[in-house]
Amino acid sequence: MSFPTQLFINGEFVDGVEGKTIDVFDPHDGSLLATIAEATEADVDRAVAAATAAYPEWKAMAASDRGRLLLKLADAIEANGEELALLETRDTGHPIRDSKGLDLVRTAAQFRYFGGMADKFQGSVVPVDRGFLDYVVREPLGVVGSIVPWNFPMMFVSWKMAPALASGNCVVMKPSELTPLTALRIAQIADEVGFPKGVINVVPGFGPTAGARLVSHPGIAKVSFTGSTPVGRMIASQAAANGIRTHLELGGKGANVVFADATIPKAVGGTAFGIFHNQGQACIAASRLIIHESVVDEFMEKFLALTNSIRVGDPKDPNTEMGPLTSPMHRDRVLSYVEVAKEEGGTILTGGKAPSDPALLNGCYVEPTVVQTVGAVRVNQEEVFGPFMTVQTFSTDEQALQIANSTEFALGGGLWTNDLSRAHRFARDLDAGMVWINSYKRAHPGSPFGGMGASGYGREMGFEAMHEYTEAKAIWVNIDADIPPFYPR
């Protein structure tokens, strides 16, 4: 299959100024998938200049026309769905059934939602003193920098690009150097459907060079970053020093609480999806199972049986249910937490190693792993970001809440109960930006996504995202107010 491998700047695919390149590998077998152009500081400067030049025209374009282009892009993504899904699978290790059935669907849905939102995002009128009209309009920020992680690269392109474009901003996007291919292909598709040159720019590169320049460039109005908490804090500091606002969607350590009255089969299935989908490489993964002591044996018998039946293998095989992790470095990091768990007295209930299948030996595979733990040990506090779930038990609702809220992260969490009063009460008191009741890891373009505390600030999706990419301008009109002179003479 062919796909673009150069930088996308001002509507054209170009090599980097310094001629540097990055090798991109297939995580299934370690083979070379592509060699792409590497963006350096000078390339980010070129991209920002192109976006800055395009901004006045894009801002002035009728919102309905911007919306139509986003809708055309959504249609074109679906029309090229087979190609995009396979490209995502080869680049990331996502099983093809997930790339087609979830990632592609959510990507198109995001562009379609904000395509419809573009001309429906309203201002407001403020009741002020008689004789005056005070109305508030929302204006785009200008040129927005977007830094996209490697775990859901295609989907996150749409999460960041769609609301920014719908609200009239131009975009300079830095996808991860590990998984840049679908971002470049979507930029190509956007050009094909008629987006003006310079409105969208995609510059894959490394964080210390391209990323650092993006978050310090005087032409950038805002940086939206999704990634780890340590990197997010560093970006916030660098951006603040240059007067650039930030939106950070960072790490998580999702609490998944199963009460004694839960419907166990549904909780088992939802928990498995919550932790093992995309090999656990999700900030909202259900990485901490917190379960009532009276049902732990019944639940774990069913859950471990399901876990051990998950089909791990080549992500291009439609029967595969779990593929490889995205890079060798990350595979090794996840496996290192198995040793940490053992040192802390944890019990490995299943998994904890790479699969023994000879066909998978060259890939970045880790078996679905479940660890019994007690207390605030590292594996219950730090984000592992892999197919790695810890298990803790509780006896009272108060104890469950204390365990659930015992980390610095506050992104997402779930609970399973048939007691409606308990469900609402617990959801209210759970420290999380998103809570799922009798489900886990649901998302929709209209529902705000984001966290608090060490999980960041700001929201993706919904009307909240349009606020993230615009600012309020208050306009006062004197209709018939008689203003006495302030300095009478």
Task: Please write the tens of the pLDDT for every residue from 401-424.
Answer: 999 999 999 999 999 999 999 999
* Tokens standing for residue 457: 């600030």
Could you state, in order of their start, the residue ranges of all structural domains in the chain?
A: 7-250+455-475, 255-437
Question: Which helix H or strand E contains 113, and what residues bound it?
Answer: helix 104-117
CATH code assigned to 255-437: 3.40.309.10
In the chain, the N- to C-terminal Cα span, in Å, equals 81
Beta strands per DSSP E along 82-177: 124-126, 132-140, 143-148, 170-175
* Tokens standing for residue 375: 């207390």
Percentage of the chain beyond pLDDT 90 is: 99
Task: Kindly report the average pLDDT of the chain as a whole number.
Answer: 98
User: pTM to 2 decimals?
Assistant: 0.96
The set of residues, in sequence order, having a beta carbon less than 8 Å from that of 209 and lying 6+ positions away, is 39, 40, 41
Identify which of 460, 396, 389 has the alpha carbon closest to the alpha carbon of residue 113: 460
Percentage of the chain beyond pLDDT 70 is: 100
Is 242:218 a contact under the CB 8 Å cutoff?
yes
The set of residues, in sequence order, having a beta carbon less than 8 Å from that of 321 and lying 6+ positions away, is 95, 97, 310, 311, 312
Is 372:418 a contact under the CB 8 Å cutoff?
no
Is 177:22 a contact under the CB 8 Å cutoff?
yes
Identify which of 369, 363, 403, 410 has the alpha carbon closest to the alpha carbon of residue 386: 369
pLDDT in tens, 184-215: 999 999 999 999 999 999 999 999 999 999 99
pLDDT in tens, 2-27: 899 999 999 999 999 999 999 999 99
- SS3 of 464-488: the string is HHHHHCEEEEEEEEECCCCCCCCCC
pLDDT in tens, 94-120: 999 999 999 999 999 999 999 999 999
Q: Which residue has the tokens 């996840």?
A: 334
Kind of pairing between the strands at 12-14 and 452-453: unpaired
Is 385:280 a contact under the CB 8 Å cutoff?
yes
Read off the pLDDT band of 1 (50, 70, 90): confident
Is 322:312 a contact under the CB 8 Å cutoff?
yes
The set of residues, in sequence order, having a beta carbon less than 8 Å from that of 336 and lying 6+ positions away, is none
Q: Which residue has the tokens 């999460």?
A: 159
How would DSSP label each residue in 214-239? HTT-TT-SEEEEES-HHHHHHHHHHH
pLDDT in tens, 36-70: 999 999 999 999 999 999 999 999 999 999 999 99
Residue 402 CA to residue 189 CA, distance in Å, equals 48
What does the longest C-alpha to C-alpha distance in the chain come to? 94
225, 244, 271, 483, 488 from 441: Cα distances, Å: 20, 31, 9, 56, 65
Identify which of 255, 249, 256, 287 has the alpha carbon closest to the alpha carbon of residue 455: 249
Is 38:205 a contact under the CB 8 Å cutoff?
yes
Residue 288 CA to residue 351 CA, distance in Å, equals 16
* Tokens standing for residue 108: 């198109």
Phi, psi of 484 (to 5 degrees): -65, 150
How would DSSP label each residue in 249-271? E-----EEEE-TTS-HHHHHHHH
Identify which of 421, 377, 380, 369 has the alpha carbon closest to the alpha carbon of residue 404: 380
pLDDT of the residue at 170: 99
How would DSSP label each residue in 366-430? ---EEEE--SS-GGGTS---SSEEEEEEESSHHHHHHHHT-SSEESEEEEE-S-HHHHHHHHHHS
Kind of pairing between the strands at 452-453 and 245-249: unpaired
CA gyration radius, the chain: 24
Q: For 277-327, where are the alpha helices, taking DSSP H only?
A: 296-309
pLDDT at 280 over 90: yes
Residue 36 CA to residue 401 CA, distance in Å, equals 47
Q: Residue 249 catalytic?
A: yes
Which candidate in 38, 88, 177, 249 is catalytic?
249
Identity of residue 168: G
Kind of pairing between the strands at 288-292 and 255-258: parallel
**Half-sphere CA count of 374, side-chain side, radius 13 A:** 3
CATH T-level topology, domain 7-250+455-475 = Aldehyde Dehydrogenase; Chain A, domain 1 (3.40.605)
Which candidate in 283, 321, 383, 468 is catalytic?
283
Read off the pLDDT band of 338 (50, 70, 90): very high
3-class state of residue 299 by DSSP: helix
